[in-house]
Copies of this chain bind each other. A is one copy, B any other.
C-alpha cells in the first residue's frame, strides 16, 4: 500500500474538503483556558505554581533563570553547536536588518508634512516551547528581530525540563542575545503570566511564539484582553509542488522532516507526474525506516496526500487555496510560479532549498502562519516588533488649503465641533 493516497485531477468543488486540516481544538478547551487565565490574573505567582505542578509536575522555588545559569550554559554545549548557533544568528540578523526601514516625509499639499516613524514595542514576551524538543532556534527567530527593533524589555518563558532546568542551548541563545529576563514556566500559565504580570514575571504588550493547542488557545484568548499576539497558530505544515526536474528522494526527505514535528502535522505534494508521485511514495517508505521519530511521522502522514494536477497554473491556484505555512517549488519556471503565489508563509525554490534550511539558518524567519492563516497573516519579522506612529506638521497655509474640505465633511457627518476647530483657527 502506498504511504500517501494519490488523488488525480480533483474537480475544483472538491478542493475545500481535500484541503481540510486536522482538527485541533478539543471540546471545553476555551473554558479551561479562560479559567486559568482569570486565576493567574487574580492571584499571580501562586496560581502559576499551582498549574505548573498540576500540568508539568514541576515545583520550583525560583522561576527566574539566574545570571549565573545564563553564563554557565556555554560550558555545557559543544563548540560545534555554539558555532552553529552563532552562524544562524548572523544570517538571521543579515536578513532581518533589511526590514528596518525609514519612511519618507510626504507633503500631501503645500504646508502639510506627514510621515510615519517605527517605534519599538517596549515590552514583548517570547514563548519558547520545551516539550519534546528544546526549541532554541525559535528563540533566535524571535529574539533577533526583537533586538533589531529595539524592544526594551524582552521576557522569555519556557517550560522547565524534568530536573527543573532549561536546556543549555536555550540559555546559551538567550545570553548570546543579551536577554536577561528568562523564566522557567510553560503552558497556559506562562501566557497568562506575561499577559497580566505576576509578582515575578513582568506583563508585556505583545506575546510571540509557537506552542501546543493549550498555548495557542491561551494566546488567542488574551487578545480579548487587549494583549497583541504575533499570529494565531495551528500544527505545522508543508506543501510541495514538484515536476520531473525534482528529486523524489529530496522531496520525500522534506515531507518527512515536516511530519516529524508532531502527529497533527500535514504535508501535501502536488505534481503533474504520476511516476514522480509513485517514486516519492517509494522513497517515503524506505526513508521512514531510518528516522527516530517514525511513529510521530506515521501519524502525520495519515493526514497527508499527493494530488496530481496536470496544469501548473491550476496547481498554484490549488496551493493558494490551501495557503500553506511552507511551500517548496521544485520545477521548471519556478521563479515565475513563485510570482503567482498569493497565500503562503515561506516559499522555498529549487532542489537545494529544503525547509530545514529556513527553519534554522538561511536567514528567513521560521515563525510563520499555519492553518490557512497565510491568507491574512505574514510571518514574524522586525515589523512584528514595532508599531508605526503617524505624524503631521501643518502650517497656517496648509490648513487653509484643506480647511474648506474638513469643514464640509465634518458638517456632513454631523460633527460640528470638528468643523469649529478649523474655523476658529482660520477666522472663518
Q: Is the CB of A260 within 8 A of B418?
A: yes
| B260–A356 CB distance below 8 A | no
Q: Is A13 an interface residue (CB 8 A)?
A: no
Segment touching B, from A53-61, A155-163, A183-191, A338-346: A338-346
A419 contacts across to B, CB distance below 8 A = 356
By a CB distance below 8 angstroms, the chain B residues around A417 are 253, 256-257, 259-260, 291, 293, 297
Asked whether any CB of chain B lies closer than 8 Å to the CB of A355, the reply is: yes
Confirm or deny: A406 has a beta carbon within 8 angstroms of a beta carbon on chain B. yes
| Segment 7-50 of A: residues with Cβ below 8 Å from B | 30
Per-residue CB contact flags for chain A residues 393-422 toward chain B (1 = under 8 Å, else 0) read: 111101100101110111011111111111
* Chain B residues closer than 8 Å to A404, beta-carbon distance: 80, 84
Oligomer copy total: 2
- A424: CB under 8 A from chain B? yes
**Given A372-B226, A388-B378, are A394 and B362 neighbors across the interface (CB < 8 Å)?**
yes
Number of interface residues of A (CB under 8 A): 132
Residues in chain B near residue A287, CB distance under 8 A: 420, 424
Say whether A273 faces chain B, with CB atoms less than 8 Å apart: no
Distance of A31 Cα from B106 Cα, bound (Å): 45
Q: Select A357's contact among B344, B358, B413, B422, beta carbons within 8 Å.
A: B422
Within the complex, which residue of B290, B293, B360 is in contact with A406, where a contact is CB–CB below 8 Å?
Answer: B360
Of residues 198 through 222 on chain A, the ones whose CB sits less than 8 Å from some CB of chain B are 205-206, 220-221
In the complex, the answer to whether A133 meets B254 with C-beta atoms within 8 Å is: no
Determine whether the beta carbon of B226 is less than 8 Å from that of A373: yes
Q: Which of B137, B377, B393 contacts A228 (CB 8 A)?
A: B377
Q: Mark A84-95, 1 if CB is under 8 A from B, else 0.
A: 110110010011
Stretch with Cβ within 8 A of B (4 or more), from A64-72, A116-124, A174-182, A309-317:
A116-124
Residues in A224-249 with C-beta less than 8 Å from chain B: 224, 226-228, 232, 249
19 A–B contact pairs at CB < 8 A? A83-B408, A84-B412, A88-B409, A94-B106, A95-B114, A133-B414, A136-B409, A250-B424, A253-B421, A293-B414, A297-B417, A341-B389, A352-B399, A353-B393, A354-B421, A354-B425, A360-B405, A360-B406, A369-B387
Binding site for B on A (CB under 8 A): 30, 80-81, 83-85, 87-88, 91, 94-95, 98-99, 101, 103-104, 106, 108-109, 112, 114, 116, 119-123, 132-137, 169, 205-206, 220-221, 223-224, 226-228, 232, 249-250, 253-254, 256-257, 259-261, 287, 290-293, 297, 335, 338, 341-365, 368-369, 371-379, 381, 383, 386-396, 398-399, 402, 404-406, 408-410, 412-422, 424-425
Identify the 7 closest CB pairs spanning chains A and B, nearest first: A108-B363, A378-B387, A84-B408, A378-B388, A228-B376, A353-B394, A356-B418
9 additional A-B residue pairs with CB within 8 Å, beyond A80-B408, A346-B392: A84-B409, A88-B409, A94-B106, A95-B114, A345-B390, A355-B418, A359-B410, A362-B398, A377-B387
